[in-house]
Amino acid sequence: RQNEHPHLPVESRRQAKGTRFLWQYSDKWMTESRQEKLIWLRAQMKLTSQCWALKELAKDIWNRSWSEERRDDWQRWLALAANSDVPMMKNAAKTIGKRLYGILNAMRHGVSNGNAEALNSKIRLLRIKARGYRNRERFKLGVMFHYGKLNMAF
């Protein structure tokens, strides 16, 4: 979007200014005026429009219920992204292609490592708050005390 903006005609540039979040709205928040502006922008900014369409397609694939066809859907998406005119989309296609196995497993089983990441950030905050422990064993005890979900009722 930023690379394409300077190449627009001056009047179009003025209207395209401040539309960063317009490309990110979901259908739920897309009012009629926003939709009209997005249609106009898609006609003006071809590369950004291409990226937006690929993002929407990926979101649609991710939100579909699991079946064995999802692999084919992602393969088609990867081919579209790899053949796009936007170098960053080609790069994203390579990255997603490398991690497709994990993406498909996450879709199939509906699991996430969000809880582990949340615990890691809490441990990091505990270490910052403590300003250092005497030794590693005391740090482990502190983590278990704060986040080990111990039953403290006697």
- Centre a 10 Å sphere on the Cβ of residue 92 and count the other Cβ atoms it contains: 19
Looking at residue 81, its pLDDT comes to 95
Distance between CA atoms of 64 and 67, rounded to whole angstroms?
9
Q: Return the percentage of the chain with pLDDT > 70, whole number.
A: 92
Residue 17 has pLDDT above 90, yes or no: no
CB of 89 closer than 8 Å to CB of 128: no
Q: Which amino acid is located at 2 in the chain?
A: Q
Average pLDDT, the chain: 84
Q: Which of 50, 52, 46 is nearest to 20 (CA)?
A: 52
Residue 76 has pLDDT above 80, yes or no: yes
Confidence band for 121, pLDDT divided at 50, 70 and 90 = very high
- Centre a 10 Å sphere on the Cβ of residue 82 and count the other Cβ atoms it contains: 15
Burial 100-135 (b: 16+ CB within 10 A, else e): eeebeeebeeeeeeeeeeeeeeeeeebeeeeeeeee
Rounded mean pLDDT, 16-27: 75
Looking at residue 142, its pLDDT comes to 80
Tens of pLDDT, residues 28-64? 777 888 888 888 878 877 888 888 899 999 999 999 9
